[in-house]
Protein backbone atom coordinates (compact mmCIF):
# COMPACT_ATOMS: atom_id res chain seq x y z
CA UNK A 1 0.00 0.00 0.00
CA UNK A 2 1.12 3.55 -0.68
CA UNK A 3 2.28 5.59 2.26
CA UNK A 4 0.61 8.95 2.92
CA UNK A 5 2.56 12.17 2.45
CA UNK A 6 1.92 15.50 4.15
CA UNK A 7 0.78 18.50 2.23
CA UNK A 8 4.16 20.07 2.85
CA UNK A 9 5.81 17.13 1.14
CA UNK A 10 3.53 17.35 -1.90
CA UNK A 11 5.72 17.73 -4.92
CA UNK A 12 4.83 20.50 -7.29
CA UNK A 13 6.75 21.22 -10.39
CA UNK A 14 6.08 24.40 -12.28
CA UNK A 15 6.89 24.43 -15.91
CA UNK A 16 6.52 27.59 -18.00
CA UNK A 17 4.00 26.93 -20.72
CA UNK A 18 5.82 26.23 -23.90
CA UNK A 19 5.34 24.54 -27.17
CA UNK A 20 6.93 21.11 -26.79
CA UNK A 21 10.24 21.43 -28.56
CA UNK A 22 9.58 25.10 -29.39
CA UNK A 23 9.25 28.57 -27.87
CA UNK A 24 6.66 29.40 -25.21
CA UNK A 25 3.37 30.75 -26.55
CA UNK A 26 1.28 31.18 -23.34
CA UNK A 27 1.24 34.17 -21.04
CA UNK A 28 0.57 31.91 -18.04
CA UNK A 29 2.62 29.29 -16.17
CA UNK A 30 1.18 25.74 -16.27
CA UNK A 31 1.50 23.76 -13.05
CA UNK A 32 1.17 19.97 -12.60
CA UNK A 33 0.81 18.48 -9.13
CA UNK A 34 0.97 14.80 -8.14
CA UNK A 35 -0.29 13.44 -4.84
CA UNK A 36 1.52 11.48 -3.60
CA UNK A 37 4.78 12.08 -5.42
CA UNK A 38 6.19 8.59 -4.85
CA UNK A 39 4.90 5.04 -4.69
CA UNK A 40 5.05 1.60 -6.22
CA UNK A 41 3.53 0.08 -9.34
CA UNK A 42 -0.24 -0.16 -9.03
CA UNK A 43 -0.61 2.72 -6.57
CA UNK A 44 -3.30 5.31 -7.36
CA UNK A 45 -2.01 8.88 -7.85
CA UNK A 46 -4.10 12.06 -8.03
CA UNK A 47 -3.21 14.61 -10.73
CA UNK A 48 -4.25 18.25 -10.64
CA UNK A 49 -3.23 21.01 -13.03
CA UNK A 50 -3.72 24.74 -13.60
CA UNK A 51 -2.51 27.23 -16.17
CA UNK A 52 -3.67 25.48 -19.34
CA UNK A 53 -6.00 26.95 -21.95
CA UNK A 54 -9.71 26.89 -21.12
CA UNK A 55 -11.66 23.88 -22.36
CA UNK A 56 -8.80 22.31 -24.24
CA UNK A 57 -8.03 18.61 -24.64
CA UNK A 58 -4.69 17.09 -23.78
CA UNK A 59 -2.73 13.92 -23.06
CA UNK A 60 -1.00 12.55 -19.95
CA UNK A 61 2.15 10.47 -20.24
CA UNK A 62 4.19 8.69 -17.60
CA UNK A 63 7.69 8.26 -18.92
CA UNK A 64 7.17 6.36 -22.17
CA UNK A 65 3.69 5.17 -21.20
CA UNK A 66 0.67 7.00 -22.61
CA UNK A 67 -2.08 7.46 -20.01
CA UNK A 68 -5.62 8.80 -20.33
CA UNK A 69 -6.46 12.05 -22.08
CA UNK A 70 -7.85 15.07 -20.20
CA UNK A 71 -9.96 18.16 -20.88
CA UNK A 72 -9.51 21.39 -18.98
CA UNK A 73 -12.31 23.38 -17.42
CA UNK A 74 -13.22 27.02 -18.08
CA UNK A 75 -10.34 28.16 -15.84
CA UNK A 76 -7.73 26.03 -17.63
CA UNK A 77 -7.41 23.38 -14.94
CA UNK A 78 -8.24 19.68 -14.60
CA UNK A 79 -8.05 16.83 -12.13
CA UNK A 80 -7.56 13.13 -12.73
CA UNK A 81 -6.16 9.91 -11.25
CA UNK A 82 -3.98 7.15 -12.65
CA UNK A 83 -2.41 3.90 -11.54
CA UNK A 84 1.38 3.83 -11.57
CA UNK A 85 2.32 1.60 -14.54
CA UNK A 86 4.57 -1.38 -14.02
CA UNK A 87 8.04 -1.60 -15.54
CA UNK A 88 9.41 1.66 -14.10
CA UNK A 89 11.79 2.42 -11.26
CA UNK A 90 13.52 5.51 -9.95
CA UNK A 91 12.48 9.05 -10.94
CA UNK A 92 10.01 9.15 -13.84
CA UNK A 93 8.69 12.30 -15.54
CA UNK A 94 4.93 12.80 -15.71
CA UNK A 95 3.90 15.09 -18.58
CA UNK A 96 0.63 16.88 -19.41
CA UNK A 97 0.38 18.38 -22.93
CA UNK A 98 -2.51 20.44 -24.25
CA UNK A 99 -2.02 22.18 -27.58
CA UNK A 100 0.93 24.49 -27.09
CA UNK A 101 1.13 24.16 -23.30
CA UNK A 102 2.96 21.48 -21.32
CA UNK A 103 3.83 20.85 -17.69
CA UNK A 104 5.83 18.12 -15.99
CA UNK A 105 6.24 16.66 -12.51
CA UNK A 106 8.62 14.04 -11.17
CA UNK A 107 7.38 10.83 -9.60
CA UNK A 108 9.66 8.53 -7.64
CA UNK A 109 8.82 4.87 -8.35
CA UNK A 110 9.92 2.68 -5.45
CA UNK A 111 10.67 -1.02 -5.77
CA UNK A 112 8.50 -2.79 -3.17
CA UNK A 113 10.30 -4.78 -0.52
CA UNK A 114 10.04 -8.52 -1.00
CA UNK A 115 7.30 -10.09 1.12
CA UNK A 116 8.47 -11.66 4.37
CA UNK A 117 8.98 -15.40 4.27
CA UNK A 118 5.86 -17.32 5.23
CA UNK A 119 5.52 -18.18 8.89
CA UNK A 120 6.23 -21.90 9.31
CA UNK A 121 3.12 -23.85 10.08
CA UNK A 122 3.46 -25.28 13.59
CA UNK A 123 2.98 -29.00 13.94
CA UNK A 124 -0.54 -29.96 14.94
CA UNK A 125 -1.10 -29.97 18.66
CA UNK A 126 -1.37 -33.40 20.22
CA UNK A 127 -3.80 -32.05 22.79
CA UNK A 128 -1.88 -33.93 25.50
CA UNK A 129 -1.28 -32.10 28.76
CA UNK A 130 2.31 -32.27 29.96
CA UNK A 131 3.51 -30.99 33.34
CA UNK A 132 6.08 -28.22 33.37
CA UNK A 133 9.29 -28.60 35.37
CA UNK A 134 7.86 -26.20 38.00
CA UNK A 135 4.59 -28.08 38.55
CA UNK A 136 3.82 -28.55 42.25
CA UNK A 137 2.50 -31.98 43.12
CA UNK A 138 1.17 -34.50 45.60
CA UNK A 139 1.22 -38.29 45.45
CA UNK A 140 -1.22 -40.23 47.63
CA UNK A 141 -1.86 -43.93 47.08
CA UNK A 142 -3.30 -44.86 50.49
CA UNK A 143 -6.58 -43.75 52.03
CA UNK A 144 -9.16 -41.31 50.79
CA UNK A 145 -7.49 -38.56 48.80
CA UNK A 146 -7.00 -35.40 50.86
CA UNK A 147 -8.22 -32.85 48.35
CA UNK A 148 -7.21 -29.83 50.43
CA UNK A 149 -3.50 -30.27 49.63
CA UNK A 150 -2.28 -27.34 47.54
CA UNK A 151 -0.86 -28.94 44.40
CA UNK A 152 -1.09 -28.36 40.68
CA UNK A 153 -0.86 -32.12 40.06
CA UNK A 154 -2.16 -35.11 42.02
CA UNK A 155 -0.81 -38.63 41.45
CA UNK A 156 -3.46 -41.04 42.78
CA UNK A 157 -4.45 -44.69 42.42
CA UNK A 158 -6.35 -45.31 39.19
CA UNK A 159 -8.43 -48.20 40.57
CA UNK A 160 -9.19 -46.86 44.04
CA UNK A 161 -10.49 -43.49 42.91
CA UNK A 162 -13.68 -42.82 40.99
CA UNK A 163 -14.30 -40.43 38.16
CA UNK A 164 -16.00 -38.11 40.67
CA UNK A 165 -12.76 -37.80 42.68
CA UNK A 166 -10.85 -36.96 39.49
CA UNK A 167 -13.51 -34.45 38.49
CA UNK A 168 -13.46 -32.83 41.93
CA UNK A 169 -9.70 -32.37 41.85
CA UNK A 170 -9.81 -30.95 38.33
CA UNK A 171 -12.59 -28.56 39.36
CA UNK A 172 -10.12 -27.16 41.91
CA UNK A 173 -7.63 -26.50 39.09
CA UNK A 174 -5.38 -29.55 39.50
CA UNK A 175 -4.28 -32.08 36.90
CA UNK A 176 -4.61 -35.71 37.89
CA UNK A 177 -2.25 -38.63 37.18
CA UNK A 178 -3.45 -42.24 37.11
CA UNK A 179 -1.18 -44.58 39.07
CA UNK A 180 -1.20 -48.18 37.88
CA UNK A 181 1.27 -51.02 38.15
CA UNK A 182 2.39 -51.96 34.67
CA UNK A 183 5.14 -54.42 35.60
CA UNK A 184 3.62 -56.39 38.45
CA UNK A 185 0.55 -58.51 39.14
CA UNK A 186 -1.56 -57.39 42.13
CA UNK A 187 -3.92 -60.06 43.42
CA UNK A 188 -6.46 -57.59 44.85
CA UNK A 189 -7.14 -55.68 41.66
CA UNK A 190 -10.51 -56.24 39.95
CA UNK A 191 -8.77 -57.31 36.72
CA UNK A 192 -6.36 -59.77 38.43
CA UNK A 193 -8.01 -62.75 36.71
CA UNK A 194 -7.12 -61.28 33.32
CA UNK A 195 -3.40 -62.05 33.83
CA UNK A 196 -2.54 -65.54 32.48
CA UNK A 197 -0.51 -67.75 34.81
CA UNK A 198 2.25 -67.86 32.19
CA UNK A 199 3.18 -64.22 32.82
CA UNK A 200 3.32 -64.41 36.63
CA UNK A 201 6.82 -64.51 38.11
CA UNK A 202 8.40 -64.17 41.52
CA UNK A 203 7.23 -61.87 44.32
CA UNK A 204 8.53 -58.34 44.06
CA UNK A 205 8.67 -58.02 47.83
CA UNK A 206 5.23 -56.49 48.35
CA UNK A 207 2.35 -58.62 49.64
CA UNK A 208 0.17 -59.95 46.84
CA UNK A 209 2.47 -58.73 44.05
CA UNK A 210 4.48 -60.69 41.48
CA UNK A 211 6.68 -59.62 38.62
CA UNK A 212 5.30 -59.93 35.09
CA UNK A 213 6.95 -61.45 32.04
CA UNK A 214 7.05 -58.24 30.02
CA UNK A 215 8.30 -60.14 26.97
CA UNK A 216 4.77 -61.51 26.48
CA UNK A 217 3.14 -58.43 25.02
CA UNK A 218 0.71 -60.71 23.24
CA UNK A 219 -0.73 -61.59 26.65
CA UNK A 220 -0.07 -58.40 28.62
CA UNK A 221 -0.94 -55.70 26.11
CA UNK A 222 -4.74 -56.24 26.24
CA UNK A 223 -4.77 -55.97 30.04
CA UNK A 224 -2.53 -52.90 30.19
CA UNK A 225 -4.46 -51.15 27.43
CA UNK A 226 -7.69 -51.81 29.34
CA UNK A 227 -6.16 -50.19 32.43
CA UNK A 228 -5.23 -47.11 30.43
CA UNK A 229 -8.73 -47.04 28.94
CA UNK A 230 -9.99 -46.93 32.52
CA UNK A 231 -7.71 -43.96 33.26
CA UNK A 232 -8.97 -42.16 30.19
CA UNK A 233 -12.63 -42.90 30.97
CA UNK A 234 -12.29 -41.51 34.50
CA UNK A 235 -10.87 -38.24 33.19
CA UNK A 236 -7.23 -38.57 34.21
CA UNK A 237 -4.67 -36.41 32.41
CA UNK A 238 -1.64 -38.70 32.63
CA UNK A 239 -0.42 -42.16 33.63
CA UNK A 240 2.20 -43.18 36.21
CA UNK A 241 3.00 -46.84 35.33
CA UNK A 242 4.99 -48.43 38.16
CA UNK A 243 7.42 -51.37 38.34
CA UNK A 244 8.95 -50.81 34.92
CA UNK A 245 12.50 -51.87 35.78
CA UNK A 246 11.96 -55.60 36.26
CA UNK A 247 15.00 -56.49 34.16
CA UNK A 248 17.24 -55.29 37.03
CA UNK A 249 15.44 -57.56 39.52
CA UNK A 250 15.04 -61.28 40.13
CA UNK A 251 11.71 -61.72 38.38
CA UNK A 252 11.77 -65.41 37.52
CA UNK A 253 12.21 -64.54 33.84
CA UNK A 254 15.41 -63.87 31.83
CA UNK A 255 14.46 -60.27 31.06
CA UNK A 256 16.99 -58.19 29.18
CA UNK A 257 17.54 -54.44 28.93
CA UNK A 258 16.18 -54.60 25.38
CA UNK A 259 13.02 -56.33 26.66
CA UNK A 260 12.50 -53.51 29.16
CA UNK A 261 13.07 -50.78 26.58
CA UNK A 262 10.56 -52.36 24.23
CA UNK A 263 7.96 -52.75 26.99
CA UNK A 264 8.39 -49.22 28.35
CA UNK A 265 8.08 -47.73 24.87
CA UNK A 266 4.92 -49.76 24.41
CA UNK A 267 3.56 -48.14 27.60
CA UNK A 268 4.41 -44.64 26.38
CA UNK A 269 2.81 -45.24 23.00
CA UNK A 270 -0.32 -46.72 24.57
CA UNK A 271 -0.72 -43.69 26.84
CA UNK A 272 -0.18 -41.17 24.05
CA UNK A 273 -2.65 -43.02 21.81
CA UNK A 274 -5.28 -42.25 24.47
CA UNK A 275 -4.36 -38.58 24.80
CA UNK A 276 -2.56 -39.12 28.10
CA UNK A 277 0.92 -38.00 29.03
CA UNK A 278 3.11 -40.59 30.72
CA UNK A 279 5.84 -40.61 33.34
CA UNK A 280 8.86 -42.90 33.54
CA UNK A 281 8.93 -44.48 36.99
CA UNK A 282 12.49 -45.08 38.17
CA UNK A 283 14.33 -47.29 35.56
CA UNK A 284 17.25 -44.93 36.00
CA UNK A 285 19.70 -46.96 33.89
CA UNK A 286 17.62 -46.47 30.75
CA UNK A 287 16.70 -42.80 31.13
CA UNK A 288 18.91 -41.63 28.26
CA UNK A 289 17.18 -44.00 25.83
CA UNK A 290 13.66 -43.34 27.13
CA UNK A 291 13.59 -39.54 27.56
CA UNK A 292 12.22 -39.03 24.01
CA UNK A 293 9.29 -41.37 24.71
CA UNK A 294 8.23 -40.09 28.15
CA UNK A 295 6.84 -36.72 29.19
CA UNK A 296 8.13 -36.57 32.77
CA UNK A 297 9.94 -38.68 35.35
CA UNK A 298 8.72 -40.02 38.70
CA UNK A 299 11.64 -41.12 40.83
CA UNK A 300 11.99 -42.68 44.25
CA UNK A 301 14.98 -42.11 46.51
CA UNK A 302 17.59 -40.76 44.09
CA UNK A 303 19.06 -38.60 46.85
CA UNK A 304 19.14 -41.50 49.30
CA UNK A 305 21.05 -43.66 46.83
CA UNK A 306 23.09 -40.85 45.19
CA UNK A 307 21.53 -41.47 41.76
CA UNK A 308 20.05 -38.07 40.95
CA UNK A 309 22.55 -37.22 38.22
CA UNK A 310 21.00 -39.96 36.09
CA UNK A 311 17.82 -37.86 35.85
CA UNK A 312 19.45 -34.79 34.30
CA UNK A 313 18.50 -35.81 30.72
CA UNK A 314 14.88 -35.04 31.64
CA UNK A 315 15.87 -31.61 32.96
CA UNK A 316 17.97 -30.93 29.85
CA UNK A 317 14.97 -31.85 27.70
CA UNK A 318 12.80 -29.36 29.61
CA UNK A 319 10.74 -32.13 31.22
CA UNK A 320 9.62 -32.34 34.83
CA UNK A 321 11.31 -34.58 37.39
CA UNK A 322 9.09 -35.54 40.35
CA UNK A 323 11.18 -37.04 43.15
CA UNK A 324 10.06 -38.87 46.32
CA UNK A 325 12.30 -39.36 49.34
CA UNK A 326 11.29 -41.57 52.26
CA UNK A 327 14.35 -41.17 54.49
CA UNK A 328 16.42 -38.26 55.72
CA UNK A 329 15.70 -34.66 56.51
CA UNK A 330 13.99 -32.62 53.80
CA UNK A 331 16.12 -29.64 54.77
CA UNK A 332 19.15 -31.70 53.75
CA UNK A 333 18.11 -32.79 50.25
CA UNK A 334 15.83 -29.88 49.32
CA UNK A 335 18.61 -27.40 48.45
CA UNK A 336 20.13 -29.93 46.04
CA UNK A 337 16.68 -30.70 44.62
CA UNK A 338 16.01 -27.05 43.91
CA UNK A 339 19.42 -26.52 42.32
CA UNK A 340 18.87 -29.52 40.02
CA UNK A 341 15.42 -28.33 38.94
CA UNK A 342 13.52 -31.23 40.55
CA UNK A 343 10.16 -31.20 42.34
CA UNK A 344 10.96 -33.26 45.44
CA UNK A 345 8.69 -34.34 48.30
CA UNK A 346 9.29 -36.19 51.55
CA UNK A 347 6.69 -38.97 51.99
CA UNK A 348 6.02 -41.98 54.21
CA UNK A 349 6.42 -45.45 52.69
CA UNK A 350 2.65 -45.92 52.83
CA UNK A 351 2.25 -42.90 50.52
CA UNK A 352 -0.59 -41.45 52.54
CA UNK A 353 -1.51 -37.74 52.57
CA UNK A 354 1.57 -36.63 54.53
CA UNK A 355 3.91 -34.45 52.49
CA UNK A 356 6.89 -32.15 52.96
CA UNK A 357 7.86 -30.14 49.89
CA UNK A 358 11.07 -28.66 48.54
CA UNK A 359 9.55 -25.64 46.79
Query: What CATH code is carried by the domain that includes residue 166?
Result: 3.20.20.70
Q: What is the number of domains present in the chain?
A: 2
Residues 295 and 258 in one domain: yes
Residues 104 and 141 in one domain: no
**What backbone torsions phi and psi does residue 248 show, to the nearest 5 degrees?**
-90, 5
**What pLDDT was estimated at residue 103?**
93
Residues 97 and 141 in one domain: no
Q: What are the pLDDT digits (tens) for 235-268?
A: 999 999 999 999 999 999 999 999 999 999 999 9
Instruction: Please check whether residue 238 lies inside any domain of the structure.
Output: yes
Residues 217 and 92 in one domain: no
- Percent helix, strand and coil across the chain, each rounded to 5? 25, 30, 45
Instruction: Please check whether residue 131 lies inside any domain of the structure.
Output: no
**What pLDDT was estimated at residue 112?**
78
Helix (H, G, I), strand (E, B) or coil at 262: helix
**What is the distance, to the nearest Å, from the Cα of residue 161 to the centroid of all Cα atoms in its chain?**
33
Residues 67 and 194 in one domain: no
Domain that holds residue 273: 137-357
**What pLDDT was estimated at residue 6?**
38
Tell me the pTM: 0.67
**What pLDDT was estimated at residue 246?**
97
Residue 321 has pLDDT above 60, yes or no: yes
Residues 240 and 102 in one domain: no
Picking from 92, 109, 126, the residue at the C-terminal end of a domain is 109
Mean pLDDT along residues 228-238: 98
DSSP designation for 30: E
Residues 89 and 176 in one domain: no
Residues 75 and 174 in one domain: no
pLDDT band at 290 (very low <50, low <70, confident <90, very high): very high
Residues 141 and 207 in one domain: yes
Cis peptide before 183 (omega within 30 of 0): no
pLDDT band at 126 (very low <50, low <70, confident <90, very high): low
Residues 249 and 351 in one domain: yes
CA distances from 17 to 25, 62, 75, 224 (A): 7, 19, 15, 95
**Chain-wide mean pLDDT for the chain?**
90
In the chain the first and final C-alpha atoms are separated, in Å, by 54
Residues 24 and 168 in one domain: no
**What pLDDT was estimated at residue 124?**
54
Residues 242/177, Cβ–Cβ less than 8 Å: no
Instruction: Please check whether residue 262 lies inside any domain of the structure.
Output: yes
Among candidate residues 310, 309, 296, 301, the one with its CA nearest the CA of residue 333: 301
Instruction: Please check whether residue 299 lies inside any domain of the structure.
Output: yes
- Of 84-88, 290-294, 321-325, the range with the lowest mean pLDDT is 84-88
Instruction: Please check whether residue 120 lies inside any domain of the structure.
Output: no
Picking from 54, 89, 109, the residue at the C-terminal end of a domain is 109
We report the CATH number of the domain holding residue 25 as 2.60.40.1930
Residues 174 and 321 in one domain: yes
Instruction: Please check whether residue 260 lies inside any domain of the structure.
Output: yes
Amino acid sequence: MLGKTSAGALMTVIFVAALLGGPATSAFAAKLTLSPSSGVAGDTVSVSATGFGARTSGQLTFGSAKLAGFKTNGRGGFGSTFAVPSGFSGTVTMTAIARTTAATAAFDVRVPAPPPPPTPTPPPSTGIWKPSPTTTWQIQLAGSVAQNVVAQMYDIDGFDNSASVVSSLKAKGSRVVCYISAGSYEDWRPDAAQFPAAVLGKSNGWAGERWLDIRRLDLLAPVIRARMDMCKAKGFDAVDPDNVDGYTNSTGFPLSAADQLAYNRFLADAAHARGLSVGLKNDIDQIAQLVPSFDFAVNEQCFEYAECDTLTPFVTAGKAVFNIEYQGNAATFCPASRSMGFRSVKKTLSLDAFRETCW
